[in-house]
Structure 1
């Protein structure tokens, strides 16, 4: 079995920086998960007026009404199979804002040949398409141009005027010997509504393939 990222990128996967190939090469049955620790130069919602509205979004553990600089950060990446046997990677990110910890969690699933769907939140009830690209310098770029909400039996595609695009770039910094990541969620009318940017070190730990309790979502979503 190979990782969901290698599967989708195909031969382009080999153009990633070697450290990124190892990072994104984790797959179900590999016997390992990844754990990163670092500090983000900034993280959260930069629009002060928007922060009180974020708790109204019906997606827990995805967006939060905080913003700060020099925010301690951890990430744990678990490769596994979802309940329907689809190759998946679950990520749990913890942001240490002053006085409060915030969680941003998701599961990236190979939902069809060459198709990645990212399910966000504690109930995995927001889904986005995930498009991958390797740049000439070996960085990985990820874009999420389309989103939909699952509310009970309803599947609600977000209209283009209300939607937002997520843009992520990740790379290895050889001078500093750590990973760097820059993520932006850009809403078409108001600009950046969520972001994080910083650096982290990374290590690989033994993993039996069973998600720990803190990484298991409240529910899984099969729809795309």
Structure 2
């Protein structure tokens, strides 16, 4: 059973759109997709040094724009403690530049949350909460976050956190998935956001 099915529970998972069920049922092997970001935007200009640092860790980047091609790879792994993990590799193609937004997720059965380690090497940790909307859409929201410094993880106060809100849906008439992501800080507003559409690459 996938970590996302465990997080949602059987009843909620079955209320997802069937194509979203197929996408988030991944518990072995891999899933590949590609599409186009209608818009990618970043925050205040003075955050650019932070975004540039993020490129070293495959987490965020300073570029923004419209109609940006991207690919997605979800690959199942087994952690050192035997837990099921899903590696997320998101690549955005800005002309000759490749920019990444990577993460490693697993399920905490005691706390009923998805654990999300962001970047490579990981520099940020976030609890993730999942819920299903009225139309079978999937909503994901970040909760408690920690700064990762090697073996040390330092809890971040709310005013330093980047609160993420994600909505993923399936568009029947386009036979495609839609994705909306916004990361916002209580003090500076939007840090990072993107919106686009993608399709599963069945041949990979």
TM-score normalized with structure 2 length: 0.92
* Alpha-carbon distance in structure 2 between the residues aligned to 1:205 and 1:126: 33
Aligned to 2:118: 120
Secondary structure in 1 matching 2:22: helix
Q: Which runs of 5+ in 1 are unaligned?
A: 207-224
Indicate the residue corresponding to 1:104 in structure 2.
101
Alpha-carbon distance between aligned partners in 2 of 1:175 and 1:4, rounded to the nearest angstrom = 29
SS at structure 2 position matched to 1:145: strand
1:79 correspondence with 2:79: no
| Secondary structure of 1:175's aligned partner | helix
Aligned to 1:170: 168
The structural deviation recorded for 1:88 is 1.4
Look up the match of 1:4.
Answer: 3
1:33 Cα deviation from its structure 2 partner: 1.4
Moved over 6 A (4+): none
Does structure 2 conserve the Cα–Cα contact (< 8 Å) formed by 1:45 and 1:65? Answer: yes
Deviations 1:53-97 (A, max 9, x none): 323469711111111111000001112322221111111010001
Quick check: 1:86–1:111 contact (8 Å CA) kept in 2? no
Q: Which residue of 1 aligns with 2:50?
A: 53
Alignment check: 8 A CA contact 1:51 1:66 kept:
no
Deviation of residue 145 (structure 1)? 2.2
State the partner residue of 2:59. Answer: 62
Distance (Å, rounded) in 2 between the aligned partners of 1:79 and 1:44: 29
Q: Which runs of 5+ in 2 are unaligned?
A: none
CA distance in 2, matches of 1:58, 1:112: 32
Cα distance, 1:58–1:42 mapped onto 2, change above 3 Å = closer
